[in-house]
Structure 1
Amino acid sequence: MFPFAGSSYQGPSPRYAELRTCPQSVVKVPTAGGVDAWLVTEYADVRAAFADPRISRAAACGEGAPRVGGSMHTTPEMIISMDVVEHTRLRKLVAGSFTVRKIESMRPRVQEIVDELLDDMAAKGPSADLVQALALPLPLTVIGDLLGVPRQDLQSFERWARAFATVDDRAGGAASLEGLAKLSEYIVGLIADKRANPTDDMLSELIAARDNDDRLSEQELVTFGFTLIGAGFDTTANQLGNSVLALVEDHRDQWELLADKPELIPGAVEELLRHVNLFATDTTGFPRVAIEDLELGGAKIEAGDAVVIALASANRDANVFEDPDRLDVTRTDNPHISFGHGLHYCLGKTLGRIEMQVALEALIRRFPSLRLAVPASELPWHEGEINHTLTSLPVTWDA
């Protein structure tokens, strides 16, 4: 039954390794949603599925679409729910704000935020909750700066976004829908404020695109606003927290290697993105539906069939990665697919990389003796979310 048991931040369910040995690499599995779905597990097939316009996100959000379970609620107006024409239209509106050059220019500000957070952590030490001290406030502050969200509102926004990310189907999606409603209500108010008092930020640019050029509907504007904020902090916060946990607890030799050779950190971030499993279902969390008959990985997929793409499995494919279950911060040949591929390739990939690089470098440099303050078995995790999300990460260090 999909989602499979056994997934953790340490890696995907062992079931994926078994499936990658099957003669047919795309297999049909029963799901918690009550329908069968085609599961894509091998790297080459995952890339092909992401790039194939016949495997549709929009169709998965339509009326009567098959529900596979283990996925968060999305609406047709969200960019992550759109196919090529509408997705391209919305993506173009913000692409200029996410160029490598523009995002790279934010690195000094990211460094400033990290230094302030770690100064505060050191002053209160020698122990801290790394989630609250660094992993969460860093991306929240950065995306707040980028989009013009007042800092005093960020904690409320984080709480609503956390609810929106809930995937517990047993509750009928009530928590997710409530979070979505709160996010929408907040963005409506923020848009009204920025219409009256525009500032130099991305949300003000989107409002201008709506009001002056009519390139956005009002609902698209509201939805795009909270989608960008939610996507801009939640994945980075979880990836950073889980990566530090992996280094200090499971792979201490790699932490110490980075302390000795900080020049390895950019490559280490890529390896952490590949190795540390972010998604609780080992997939993107966003199922797709075939809109035409097609063949993939030896499977004959029919129009209307559900398709689930397993990112974490692709990142452990031995056909692409040597010794794929080993975390190796010196790995150089690393074409991981953690940011997706094709149409929905992550818009914020450069920003996420910068935040990870700056945070890890400063953390390792300033707290080389950092370690868990409690046994790993006692760490609290959020239940029923799209991501593996630590509630807290108690750490300590030598004063």
Structure 2
Amino acid sequence: MRHRLAELRGPDVRAKSLDARALAALAANPGCERRAILDGAGVDKATLAGALGSPSAFGQSQFALVRGNAFEARVKADGGTELLRLVHEKLDRSAEPPAAARVPDLSAAGHAGRAARTELALGEAALAPGEWTLLDHPLLALDVAGSPAFLEPDAVVVHPDGSWTVVEIKSFPLLDGSADPAKVGAAARQAAVYVLALEEVAARLAAAPDAPGEAPRVRHRILLVCPKDFSNLPTASAVDVRKQRAVTARQLARLTRIEHIADALPEGTCFAPELPRERLTASVESVPASYAPECLSACELAFHCRDRSRAQDAVTTLGRPVRAELGGLTTVEDVLAAARGELGDPADPTVAALRRAAALRAEALAGAAAPTGARALAGVAGAARAEVAPCP
């Protein structure tokens, strides 16, 4: 299977590892086979988008990266003294204050070597109860649709009772103890992926022949460390990620296994960016995509997929909620034809609601120029929602 994925990526193209942010985005859209195979094969989607003629400005700015790295270095200074103080204050006040902590060396050759060294360090910490242990940038392995993904959290802390906590360090501020909910939600979804990976490590350690007992407990409250107000001083908040963990686990389980997608591709399919644009486009289009406007903030190929979705007149360009309300009507023209009475079964509740909504809209706009295309569909869909909505 690895040989097949290397062929898809291109024989001379280095694989790009999945990170937790990409994995959380993949889990949020499990029906997109295109993203699943590209991420599984280690394709650099930003480079691919540029080769297709739809470059994306997706990702952090260089300034944000430098600022984030500087803040993380400050949080972890002096052996992680401040970080451990925040963990103790926000998550484990019943434990002894962390006067000192073990900080094991996690360096090793290659991703697989680093992941094995991380697992060994976690196992050693489990055999040393009563001590605090800080793992700085550990590497965790997680199976995703039959393909391994290597994930690197900012830190993992082992408490004196042997439990594990994921630490996320972000450069957006906590103002008066709260932060932008959208950014906190994104951080929680990212941390939930790390929690799932740690749970797999804990299960393997518990199944080992020389295991001391039951599996170590992975805490579902993670520590989110951010700058306080408008300063560069670190502060923290405990975030419960049980809901995000459950959703992510369920969505990852729904992902089609990578080998099944790869087996269905035409012979000669390749995503190497140096290929002629026509062949590269044909390879990408051979894999079904599931575009929605939400992809614009989560996928480097979103502009390309949006253009194709618009060219196909697909209703998904208007968002998943509209798509869900329209049943088997998948194109804008089909929806407008159903609303005009030219298509569909009048007994179908969706068709009936569209026709009633179109009549109400025509009555309200009598004498005005009739909009067409997506604008008309948006208006009809809005009227249909109002038509079928229950009375308060």
What TM bracket, shorter-length normalisation? under 0.3
* TM-score w.r.t. length of structure 1: 0.26
* TM-score w.r.t. length of structure 2: 0.27
Select the structure with the greater relative contact order (CA < 8 A; seq sep ≥ 6).
1
